[in-house]
């Protein structure tokens, strides 16, 4: 009982990482020291580039749409080719913003420091989760970690005794007369596939009869259409056609994937979404980037997070900054 | 006499039924084609028709407003359930609602229900209570009139107005007018007004870019990208295809080797398109593109300029893919020219070049045109190779713009076919995307069928014309 | 009489132009042919590192994909071949020529419908519908041919006046509303029959009685969708082959007392056999390489299963979704290119075979025409 349940989605893997709340503080400070007049004047122009995660493509795009609504002269250029492309682009200097659905690895961070002499500014901008879904009429409400593993994997690395193939094998669905559990998931190349394998299967192997869909919304649609289906997808794709299952945590309490539980990290399969910024110490960002970051942290930006289906960061009171690196000293 | 043939004799009348099965095969094929096209037509065009909004009261006393989308049978119990589009995602947390039909106590269609399209939360369905401006407040009908007047203004001129809205179950919300894109009261519209709204919606679909991360808005960049890519492709494929056909038919020695090559070219038309995609990725993108980057764009490395999929590589790949089509069609045209005409030209002292440019090419031009149109039709509908060599989910920057050098061959572009695949499988919500997918599919099918029909008519027309000549 | 001649000074220029043009055309033609050759060379070259890796895992990973590809193609052909050949026989032998000149382009239009559209309809509309109405779908598969036969019986017993109005040579068209009616009747009756005979849902029965698992996106769906895409190709070529059979053959057989159907079955079909065979081969090539339909309608499960109710993953679909993310030079990259090579070789061989058979057939016909 460890990996999945204790894998709180915090970003403390690297010593330089910032706490969520601290990220917001950093942002606010960053914005305070820069002349606000520049951000408010309607004459901001320039090209705003970002390269990175395709999970966050919709979110970045909506933010971009909101920004161009405020400043029509700002041109957007987003490339969503996967989280791995963000560090490369940041190091290369082709972009100053790199959205990522996972934290940078130490190697990626070191590459950046080697090139610029300072680490990138890491902002946690939103929170996401992997949800396990069943058909909306399915009586199943919650699963334990071993059950998930027994259903989806052949290896049962999380410690289940026997595989679960049929609905009768789960106590809650003993009377659900649909025979075999039809499994749906993402294709091999996607980050969701990898994350689920790592966090929910304890790095075990997937069964080979899982339908692999090329997109999360296709998983949701497929599960919503058949009563015998179960699948995993990103939280932002949840619709009323399916039901997202609660997961039991280490204390044996079922945690539903609702906004609160994902926000405070109680839901075991939650993860953070990051925005990496190339910002030399003591300097300020170009006006377009700055207006973009300001938008993200504004109420409107936070609402866009929710409108995109993700979970906004917790609103915490300001605490004194304990940053080891920041835009301002 | 064997027992089999006796049985054959006895059931002789059954033999007469075989032709009927064959006739039914034709009928079945026509039926499937017709069903597919009419499904696309009805669902693709129907999406733009302003849907009647209903107010539903459930037996539990719950009330909501929305429009019915579809019905499916309930699992395990008798009866159906109905899916309603309810909008109001900011208030309810979801924009769909499944309701068992047995639970519905009452359905009405009040005329004061309105539908607002907003950003970022999508549609609102409910009632307009009031429109508030800093100095004025409008209520009831006046509010609606004021709202439609204000919506005609550009977004930045209505910053300070606010709407007071009420949902069907009585919650009131405030909505800044700046985020409202359009407003509609479909239940109060006459048939004529609906037709007007429908044609406007169709036009916006064709002329606008996608909004809200591809979940609404139009497909203009995808149409533009498809057309641009196809034009580039035909610019590349036409000369090479024609040259190769002339070489094979007019210049090469008609021996065993040429025949072998001809069979080879013909067969390439049958090689799966994805194989061309793999070739394009390996050779054009990683091979040639990668080298171009190290030679000319080394300052931007490691982020690739030409070393990643883009318009140029996509056009080249599709040109290679459609090359056999053009070669085969042109060769057919060339083969149909009687040798006497060529011999006559040569006998009159023309060189081979003159014979080709004055006699052969003008006569074969229609066949070439047919070949190019068929190639364009094939390329417009092809998706699989494009996924490997440069199509993008969203390309806010057009590959053609007012920035030097105007045509950006290295940029990724949007394509109708891939847009369809992407919205159907990668979007945020498939249920919300399906009507748009239908509309996109209809558009794509119309384009491809239109091109094919042009090719067919062209061929027919020219054949008949030539038939008269001979 | 002396023909008007151009001045002699222009003569060498013309010759030079001609030579340059010939050289250019030859170069262009050769470049194209080389480019085409390059595809094969590139694929071979890129799979060589796989040999160097000496990894037997490659085959183990590729074999479910190969099986999936074959299964999908087989399912498509099982549906497409009877329908396409039936349609070809009817349109080449029975249909009125005027109608045929309309129907044939219409059916060939089917081929132009992009795979991504067919895949979308199959994966998101047809698959869920069939899952909910499995019994209706199965009944339809049996009921459609039966209803065609029923139409034949009714027609044979019908009054001659009716026969005159609904001539058999137009049956391909007026059977459409008949089939629509029959489909409607089947869809209306099946749920009731299912309830009466099976006492419930066919899917649950399959599961409980026979232990057959049903996946939403399966070989049945892929077969229908890809069959739809393959039918026009097979139909068009088979129709050509049958129409090219010298009419003297069929007329001769009929003169010797054979019925139209016997003459067709025993003589024309036998004569056009190689052409029909090559049509089927080309259809098979298309089915093996079709990407978007399988990607969207198959479920992409890498299974070794022969059940028509289970999904599969084909090589083409695997290439399409995995290759853009595979890092060049990695094992997955080379493996996927190996899959592309296999597809390339397979379709090339199949098409060449078909082409050779067709050309031989054409020569035979020419001889027949010449001798008769």
A129-270 sits in which CATH class? Answer: alpha beta
- A66 at the B interface (CB within 8 A)? yes
Which of B432, B325, B459, B458 has its CA nearest to residue B380?
B325
3-state secondary structure of C1: coil
> Is the Cβ pair B384, C320 closer than 8 Å?
yes
Q: A68-107: string of b/e by CB count within 10 Å (b at 16+)?
A: eebbeebbbbbbbbbbbbbbbbbbbebbbbbbbbbbbeee
H/E element holding C43? helix C10-53
B220-469 sits in which CATH class? Answer: mainly alpha
ipTM score: 0.88
Dihedral pair phi/psi, residue B190, rounded to 5°: -80, 170
CA angle A138, A144, A148 (to 5 degrees): 75
**Structural domain boundaries of chain C?**
51-128+215-371
pTM for the model stands at: 0.86
Contact call for residues B103 and B58 (beta carbons, < 8 A) = yes
H/E element holding B275? helix B273-279
Q: Are strands A211-213 and A182-186 parallel, antiparallel or unpaired?
A: parallel
Cβ neighbours of residue C233 closer than 8 Å, sequence gap 6 or more: C84, C111, C279, C282, C283, C286
Count of CB atoms situated within 10 Å of the CB of B156? 11
Q: Say how far apart CA A218 and CA A230 lie, in whole Å.
A: 13
| Structure token digits, residue B6 | 């006796």
> Is the Cβ pair C121, B39 closer than 8 Å?
yes
**Structural domain boundaries of chain B?**
54-108, 113-189, 220-469
- Quick one: A3-128+272-307 is in which CATH superfamily? Periplasmic binding protein-like II (3.40.190.10)
Per-window interface: A 59-88 vs C, CB < 8 A: 82
Cβ neighbours of residue B17 closer than 8 Å, sequence gap 6 or more: C149, C152, C153
Count of CB atoms situated within 10 Å of the CB of C318? 29
Beta-bridge mates of residue A100? A274
Reading chain C (372 residues) residue by residue, the pLDDT tens digits are 444 555 555 677 878 888 888 888 888 778 877 877 888 888 888 888 777 766 666 677 788 888 999 999 999 999 999 999 999 988 888 888 888 888 888 888 888 899 999 999 998 889 988 888 888 888 888 888 888 888 888 887 776 777 777 778 888 888 889 999 999 998 898 888 887 877 667 777 777 777 777 777 888 999 999 999 999 989 988 988 888 887 788 888 888 877 777 777 778 888 888 888 888 988 998 899 888 899 888 888 888 888 888 888 889 988 888 887 677 777 778 888 889 999 998 888 888 888 888 888 778 777 776 765
Residues A246-291: tens digit of each pLDDT: 988 888 888 888 888 888 888 888 888 888 888 888 777 778 888 8
Which of C226, C109, C356 has its CA nearest to residue B272?
C226
Cβ neighbours of residue C104 closer than 8 Å, sequence gap 6 or more: C91, C236, C239
SS3 content of chain A, % helix, strand, coil (to 5): 35, 20, 45
Residues B284-307: tens digit of each pLDDT: 888 888 788 778 776 655 556 676
| Structure token digits, residue C148 | 């065609």
**Structural domain boundaries of chain A?**
3-128+272-307, 129-270
| Residue with the two structure tokens 């359009």 | B182
Q: Say how far apart CA B64 and CA B106 lie, in whole Å.
A: 11
Per-window interface: B 416-435 vs C, CB < 8 A: 417-418, 420-421, 424-425, 430, 434
Query: How many interface pairs between A and B have CB atoms less than 8 angstroms apart?
Result: 110
- A177 at the B interface (CB within 8 A)? yes
Q: Say how far apart CA C30 and CA C19 lie, in whole Å.
A: 16
What CA dihedral angle connects C101, C105, C110 and C112, to 10 degrees? 170
In angstroms, how far is CA B146 from the centroid of its own chain? 38
| Structure token digits, residue A168 | 């009768």
Contact call for residues C168 and B23 (beta carbons, < 8 A) = yes
Q: A23-35: string of b/e by CB count within 10 Å (b at 16+)?
A: bbbbbebbbeebe
- B120 at the A interface (CB within 8 A)? yes
Contact call for residues B94 and B156 (beta carbons, < 8 A) = no
Per-window interface: B 366-425 vs A, CB < 8 A: 393-394, 396-397, 412, 421-422, 424-425
Per-window interface: C 181-220 vs B, CB < 8 A: none
Phi-psi region of A35 (alpha: psi -120 to 50; beta: other; left: phi over 0): beta
Note the CATH architecture for domain C51-128+215-371: Orthogonal Bundle (1.10)
How long, in residues, is chain A?
329
């Amino acid at each position: 009982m460890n990996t999945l349940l204790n894998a709180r989605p915090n970003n403390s893997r690297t010593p330089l990482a910032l706490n969520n709340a601290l990220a917001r503080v950093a942002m606010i400070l960053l914005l305070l020291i820069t002349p606000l007049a520049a951000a408010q004047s309607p004459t901001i122009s320039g090209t705003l580039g970002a390269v990175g995660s395709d999970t966050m493509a919709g979110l970045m795009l909506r933010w971009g749409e909101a920004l161009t609504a405020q400043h029509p002269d700002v041109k957007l250029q987003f490339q969503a080719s996967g989280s791995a492309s963000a560090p490369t682009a940041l190091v290369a200097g082709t972009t100053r913003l790199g959205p990522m659905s996972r934290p940078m690895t130490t190697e990626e961070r070191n590459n950046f420091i080697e090139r610029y002499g300072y680490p990138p500014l890491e902002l946690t901008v939103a929170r996401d989760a992997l949800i396990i879904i069943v058909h909306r009429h399915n009586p199943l409400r919650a699963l334990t970690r071993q059950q998930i593993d027994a259903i989806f994997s052949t290896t049962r690395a999380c410690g289940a005794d026997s595989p679960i193939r049929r609905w009768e094998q789960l106590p809650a669905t003993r009377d659900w007369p649909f025979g075999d559990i039809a499994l749906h998931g993402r294709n091999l190349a996607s980050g969701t596939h990898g994350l689920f394998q790592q966090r929910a299967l304890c790095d075990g192997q997937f069964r080979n009869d899982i339908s692999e869909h090329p997109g999360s919304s296709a998983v949701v649609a497929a599960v919503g259409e058949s009563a015998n289906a179960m699948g995993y997808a990103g939280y932002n794709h949840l619709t009323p056609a399916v039901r997202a299952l609660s997961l039991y945590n280490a204390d044996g309490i079922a945690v539903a994937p609702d906004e609160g539980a994902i926000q405070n990290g109680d839901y075991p399969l939650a993860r953070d979404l990051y925005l990496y910024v190339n910002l030399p110490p003591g300097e300020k960002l170009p006006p377009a980037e700055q207006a973009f970051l300001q938008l993200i942290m504004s109420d409107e930006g936070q609402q866009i997070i929710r409108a995109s289906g993700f979970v906004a960061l917790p609103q915490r009171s300001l605490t004194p900054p304990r940053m080891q690196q920041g835009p301002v000293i | 006499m064997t027992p089999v043939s006796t049985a054959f004799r006895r059931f002789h009348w059954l033999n007469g039924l075989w032709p009927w099965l064959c006739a039914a095969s034709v009928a079945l094929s026509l039926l499937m084609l017709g069903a597919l096209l009419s499904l696309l037509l009805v669902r693709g065009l129907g999406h733009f028709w302003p849907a009647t909004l209903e107010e539903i009261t459930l037996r539990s006393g719950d009330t909501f407003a929305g429009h019915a989308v579809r019905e499916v049978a309930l699992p395990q119990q008798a009866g159906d359930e109905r899916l309603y589009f309810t909008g109001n995602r900011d208030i309810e947390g979801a924009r769909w609602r499944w309701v068992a039909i047995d639970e519905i106590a009452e359905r009405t269609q009040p005329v004061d229900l309105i539908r607002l399209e907003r950003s970022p939360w999508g549609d609102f369905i409910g009632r307009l209570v009031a429109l508030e401006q800093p100095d004025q407040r409008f209520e009831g009908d006046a509010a609606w009139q004021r709202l439609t007047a204000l919506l005609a203004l550009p977004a930045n001129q209505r910053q300070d107005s606010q709407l007071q809205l009420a949902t069907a179950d009585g919650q009131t919300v405030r909505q800044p007018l700046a985020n409202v894109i359009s407003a509609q009261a479909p239940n109060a519209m006459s048939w004529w007004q609906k037709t007007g709204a429908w044609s406007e919606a169709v036009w916006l679909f064709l002329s606008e870019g996608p909004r809200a991360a591809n979940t609404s808005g139009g497909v203009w960049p995808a149409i533009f990208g498809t057309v641009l890519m196809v034009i580039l492709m035909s610019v590349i494929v036409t000369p090479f295809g024609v040259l190769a056909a002339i070489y094979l038919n007019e210049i090469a020695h008609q021996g065993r080797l040429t025949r072998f090559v001809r069979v080879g070219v013909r067969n390439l038309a049958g090689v799966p398109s994805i194989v061309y995609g793999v070739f394009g990725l390996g050779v054009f993108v990683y091979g040639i593109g990668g080298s171009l980057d190290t030679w000319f764009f080394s300052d931007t490395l490691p982020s690739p300029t030409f070393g990643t999929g883009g318009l140029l590589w996509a056009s080249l790949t599709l040109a290679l893919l459609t090359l056999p089509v053009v070669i085969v069609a042109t060769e057919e045209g060339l083969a149909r020219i009687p040798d006497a005409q060529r011999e006559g030209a040569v006998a009159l002292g023309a060189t081979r070049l003159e014979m080709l440019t004055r006699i052969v090419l003008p006569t074969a031009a229609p066949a070439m045109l047919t070949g190019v149109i068929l190639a364009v039709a094939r390329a417009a509908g092809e998706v699989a190779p494009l996924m490997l060599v440069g199509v993008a989910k969203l390309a806010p920057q057009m590959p053609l713009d007012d920035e030097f050098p105007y045509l950006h061959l290295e940029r990724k572009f949007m394509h109708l076919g891939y847009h369809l695949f992407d919205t159907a499988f990668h979007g945020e919500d498939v249920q919300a995307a399906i009507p748009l997918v239908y509309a996109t599919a209809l558009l794509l099918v119309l384009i491809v069928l239109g091109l094919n029909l042009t090719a067919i008519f062209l061929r027919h027309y020219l054949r008949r014309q030539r038939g008269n000549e001979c | 009489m002396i023909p008007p001649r151009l001045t002699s000074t222009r003569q060498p220029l013309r010759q030079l132009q001609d030579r340059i043009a010939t050289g250019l055309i030859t170069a262009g033609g050769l470049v194209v042919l080389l480019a085409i050759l390059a595809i094969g060379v590139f694929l071979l070259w890129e799979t060589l590192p796989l040999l160097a890796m000496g990894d037997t895992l490659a085959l183990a990973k590729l074999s479910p994909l190969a099986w999936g590809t074959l299964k999908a193609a087989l399912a498509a052909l099982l549906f497409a071949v009877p329908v396409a050949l039936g349609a070809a026989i009817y349109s080449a032998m029975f249909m009125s020529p005027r109608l045929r000149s309309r129907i044939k382009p219409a059916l060939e239009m089917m081929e132009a419908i992009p795979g991504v559209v067919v895949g979308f309809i199959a994966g998101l509309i047809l698959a869920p519908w069939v899952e909910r109405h499995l019994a209706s779908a199965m009944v339809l598969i049996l009921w459609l041919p039966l209803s065609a036969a029923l139409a034949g019986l009714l027609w044979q017993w019908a009054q001659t006046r009716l026969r005159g109005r609904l001539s058999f040579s137009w049956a391909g068209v007026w059977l459409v509303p008949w089939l629509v009616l029959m489909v409607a009747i089947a869809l209306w009756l099946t749920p009731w029959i299912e309830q009466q005979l099976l006492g419930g849902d066919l899917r649950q029965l399959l599961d409980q009685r026979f232990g057959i698992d049903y996946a939403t996106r399966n070989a049945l769906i892929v077969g229908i969708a890809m069959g739809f895409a393959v039918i026009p190709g097979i139909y068009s070529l088979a129709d050509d082959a049958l129409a090219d059979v010298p009419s003297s053959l069929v007329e001769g057989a009929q003169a010797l007392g054979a019925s139209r159907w016997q003459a067709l079955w025993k003589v024309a079909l036998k004569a056009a056999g190689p052409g029909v065979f090559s049509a089927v081969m080309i259809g098979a090539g298309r089915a093996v390489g079709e990407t978007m339909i399988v990607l969207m309608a198959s479920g992409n499960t890498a299974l070794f299963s022969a059940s028509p109710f289970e999904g599969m993953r084909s090589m083409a679909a695997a290439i399409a979704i995995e290759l853009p993310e595979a890092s060049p030079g990695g094992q997955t990259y080379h493996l996927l290119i190996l899959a592309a090579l296999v597809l390339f070789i397979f379709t090339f061989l199949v098409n060449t075979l078909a082409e050779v058979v067709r050309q031989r057939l054409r020569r035979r016909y020419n001889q027949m025409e010449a001798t008769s």
